[in-house]
Amino acid sequence: MKKLLFFLSLLLLTVSACAQPSETLTGFVGKFTFQSFSAGGSSDVTGTLDAFNDQTNQYFANNIQVGDVIWDNQGNRWEVMVINSSNLLQADVDLRDINSAGGTPLGVGFLTRETENVGLSLLVPDNNIGISQQLKSRVETHNMLLIDRFIAAYRDSVYQGTDLGDTTNISSPTVGDVIVTDDGNLGFYDGDNWVTFSGSGGGETKSIYDAGQGFYCYCTPGVTVSTSAQGTYVVTIPADTDVSSLQKNFTNAGSEFTVGGEAIINVTWSGASGNWNTSFSDAVVPDIKLIDGSGTQREPGAVSVTTQTTSVGAGTSSTTIANINGVGTPVRVKLQF
């Protein structure tokens, strides 16, 4: 059953507002007179916004920016495309006819820098001569319909299911969608997969499991280990997987190490961009620990073992653990990330 993200957002905003009062917020808005506008310029019309006044002396005509929106008294909207010149009270601008109404703007209008998330227009005070109540009503209606559209677009972003596998009723998830499960977990859609979070205190759900070839992983699900040759192990880590450590207990030096007595572990981070693991300087270098047959954890150098990590390609690194056969078996190798 779908729930409304709007109510969740409203609750979060209410809690945030109660927790810490906000400083006074302001936005760019002011009245002016259209002067000498005509067709031409780099867009639809060009002319001067004259006698700009925001009634608070916070903003002036030289604060106008490309992208600001203008309302004329007919309810038509214009976008500032070019600012040719400006001073405190005037700005010579080229405007785009947003409504494709045609003609040129006349009389008194006002300019607003619309809100970032929804695109709402700010309003000038009621005592501005030349700004009719009819125009202000049109702006208020415009804003309300934008809010309605915004709610309709995002209200179905929270879903409910019996468990995290119960996503059959979510046909087209979008980034940021949430599923709340009856067993107390949360799943967030990142654009490709549902990322799992625990419902009891938050944080990713990790567990210890056999990833293959005797490697036990303390991580979120999905890590696999295969072998490409004797003593060479291939670890594949899916995108968005949280990995803490990998461990393997080696018991047979003749079959589990290379002929030269090494353990080679190639780690591929799926989905990694091409700007890391391209060289040693930006490679993901695991911290290697050895645990001998008595259960004592040692640094590799303490038992004459050397480790070296090199880049194989974008997202893939190769760690060679040399002279490990000299430690004897059983020996456990632990890679910490």
Q: In this structure, what CATH number is given to the domain that contains residue 104?
A: 2.40.30
Whether 125 is in a domain gets the answer yes
Residues 239 and 324 in one domain: yes
Q: Judge whether 3 lies within some domain.
A: no
Could you report the per-residue pLDDT of 105-159, keeping only the tens digit for each?
999 999 999 988 888 999 888 888 888 889 989 999 998 888 888 776 665 457 6
Same domain (yes/no): 277, 331: yes
Does 5 reside within a domain? no
> In this structure, is residue 318 part of a structural domain?
yes
Domain count, the chain: 3
Does 211 lie in the same domain as 193?
A: no
Torsion of CA 73, 84, 55, 133, to 10 degrees: 10
Instruction: Look at residues 197, 218, 249 and tell me which one is the last residue of a structural domain.
Output: 197
Percent of the chain scoring above 90 in pLDDT: 38
Shared-domain flag, residues 78 and 189: no
212: exposed, middle or buried (C-beta count within 10 Å: 0-12, 13-18, 19+)? middle
CB 38 within 8 A of CB 133: no
| pTM of this structure | 0.46
Instruction: Using pLDDT thresholds of 50, 70 and 90, give the confidence band for residue 100.
Output: very high
Contacts of 159 (CB under 8 A, 6+ apart): 1, 2, 3, 167, 169, 170, 177, 178, 179, 180
Q: Are 326 and 304 in contact (CB under 8 A)?
A: yes
Q: Are residues 299 and 259 in the same domain?
A: yes
Q: How confident is the model at residue 5 (pLDDT cuts 50, 70, 90)?
A: very low
Ranked by mean pLDDT, the top range of 177-181, 192-196, 244-248 is 244-248
* Residue 218, domain member (yes or no): yes
| pLDDT reported for residue 6 | 40
Same domain, 92 and 162: no
Containing structural domain, residue 171:
158-197
Same domain (yes/no): 37, 137:
yes
Specify whether 125 is located in the same domain as 56.
Answer: yes
Average pLDDT over residues 59-70: 95
Same domain, 131 and 166: no
Residue 222 lies in a domain: yes
Shared-domain flag, residues 232 and 322? yes
In a domain, 175, yes or no: yes
Q: Is the per-residue pLDDT at 18 higher than 50?
A: no
Q: Which residues, including other chains, have CB under 8 Å from residue 107's CB and lie 6 or more apart?
A: 33, 34, 72, 73, 130
Ramachandran class of 315: left when φ > 0, alpha when ψ lies in -120 to 50, beta otherwise: left
> What are the tens digits of pLDDT across the range 187-207?
777 667 776 654 444 445 678
Stretch (H or E) spanning 133? helix 133-154
Residue 196 confidence (pLDDT): 65
Which of 11-20, 33-42, 196-205, 317-326 reaches the highest mean pLDDT?
Answer: 33-42
| Domain presence at residue 4 | no
Same domain for 229 and 112: no
Q: Within this chain, do residues 145 and 162 fall inside the same structural domain, yes or no?
A: no
